[in-house]
């Protein structure tokens, strides 16, 4: 086993080998709608908040509205701008809400596991329990999503263990979105030597912390995304290092009637700039693995050896 502290090979952005995107694009933009399942009565010890003891009707019903109504409004914006999406999915929905599943499949959305339910985190799992969780995850996708295996994961409630990365590659996954520590894909080492990539997700360009938790206006969220992408485009032009921008949305936030036009404005802005590669997490991963992974690992390991020699 490799501890998580040793998985993330370090190299400073200006010094590392150059990363580029197809057709000369400088920023890869991926949309991550979080389509989630919440238990009415969650497993003991798990809850929405400390506000009340379960069941928490206020929080549950707000989130439930996302899959009943707001998801379909979000789809209209996705369709209007032909926006590829990597759905951060609570996998129980594949079986329990076939209308949602079929709408995603019709649009060829890529599934990124977000656990079975968003109130069932992986904290404290034994290796055997987590191995079984990942086995069930792939079985759900293969059975209910046209036989398509899951390529990556954002842990439920951003949770995991020191075993997570090793077990993900065992079950055929190639990217992980939990380690929000860079603006490019980065190698994550595994005990088996199988290749795993961290794809930049976002806790800031994310509608739950930005809009729901901090009560910023919806206009602020549009301005936030625009400022993020504008600066990434500028930095990529200045240092030659391509960047990744992730837009993380939740139907129960940006699919609400008072927010939908700002989501459309974000999509319109992104589609209007031909320097932006509008893509999926899986396509970013595949491109990075094919062109940059091995060189980045070798470079970072050379830095480790250099640093070790300096302090010997």
Tokens of 232: 């990434």
User: What does the pLDDT read at residue 48?
Assistant: 67
* Averaged confidence pLDDT in the chain: 93
The token pair at 61 is 């019903």
Tell me, yes or no, whether 4 lies in a domain.
Answer: no
Distance CA 34, CA 37 (A): 10
In tens, the pLDDT along 66-114 reads: 999 999 999 999 999 999 999 999 999 999 999 999 999 999 999 999 9
Q: Is residue 7 part of a domain?
A: no
Considering the domain boundaries, does residue 3 fall inside one? no
| Max CA pair span of the chain | 61
User: What is the residue whose two structure tokens read 């290092």?
Assistant: 241
β-strand partners of 249: 33
- Dihedral angle computed from the Cα positions of residues 51, 53, 59 and 60, in that order, rounded to the nearest 10 degrees: 170
β pairing state of 243-249 and 27-35: parallel
What is the C-alpha separation between 74 and 66, in angstroms, rounded?
9
pLDDT digit string (tens) for 10-43? 999 999 999 999 999 999 999 999 999 988 887 7
Q: Is the model's pLDDT at 154 over the cut of 70?
A: yes
Residue 278 lies in a domain: yes
Is residue 250 one of the residues assigned to a domain?
yes
CA distance 120 to 312: 45
Beta strand spans in the chain (E): 27-35, 86-89, 110-113, 152-153, 175-176, 186-188, 196-198, 243-249, 276-279
Let me know if residue 6 belongs to a domain: no
The three-point CA angle 126-119-137 to 5° equals 60
**Residue 234: CB atoms within 10 Å:** 13
Domains identified in the chain, total number: 1
CATH number (domain holding residue 129): 3.20.20.370
In which residue are the tokens 């590829």 written?
A: 84
Q: Give me the domain span that covers residue 174.
A: 16-39+56-310
Residue 46 lies in a domain: no
**Contact between 255 and 71 (Cβ < 8 Å):** yes
């Amino acid at each position: 086993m490799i501890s998580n502290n040793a998985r993330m090979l370090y190299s400073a952005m200006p010094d590392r080998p150059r990363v580029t995107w197809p057709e000369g694009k400088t920023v890869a933009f991926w949309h991550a709608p979080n389509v989630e399942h919440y238990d009415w009565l969650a497993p003991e010890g798990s809850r929405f908040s400390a506000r009340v003891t379960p069941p928490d009707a206020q929080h549950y019903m707000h989130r439930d509205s996302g899959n009943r109504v707001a998801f379909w409004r979000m789809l209209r914006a996705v369709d209007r701008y032909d926006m590829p999406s990597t759905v951060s999915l609570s996998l129980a929905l594949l079986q329990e809400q076939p209308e949602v599943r079929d709408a995603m499949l019709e649009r060829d959305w890529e599934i990124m596991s977000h656990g079975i339910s968003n109130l069932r985190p992986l904290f404290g799992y034994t290796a055997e329990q987590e191995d079984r969780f990942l086995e069930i995850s792939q079985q759900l996708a293969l059975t209910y999503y046209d036989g398509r295996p899951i390529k990556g994961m954002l842990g439920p409630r951003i949770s995991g263990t020191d075993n997570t990365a090793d077990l993900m590659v065992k079950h055929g996954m190639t990217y992980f979105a939990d380690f929000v520590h860079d603006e490019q894909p980065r190698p994550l080492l595994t005990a088996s030597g199988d290749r795993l990539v961290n794809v930049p997700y976002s806790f800031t360009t994310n509608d739950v912390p930005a809009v729901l938790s901090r009560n910023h206006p919806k206009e602020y969220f549009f301005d936030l995304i625009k400022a993020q992408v504008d600066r990434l485009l500028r930095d990529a032009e200045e240092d030659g290092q391509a960047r990744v921008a992730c837009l993380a949305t939740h139907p129960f936030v940006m699919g609400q009637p008072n927010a939908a036009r700002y989501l459309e404005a974000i999509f319109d802005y992104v589609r209007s700039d031909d320097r932006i590669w509008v893509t999926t997490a899986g396509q970013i991963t595949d491109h990075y693995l094919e062109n940059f992974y091995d060189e980045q690992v070798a470079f970072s390991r050379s830095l480790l050896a250099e640093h070790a020699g300096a302090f010997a």
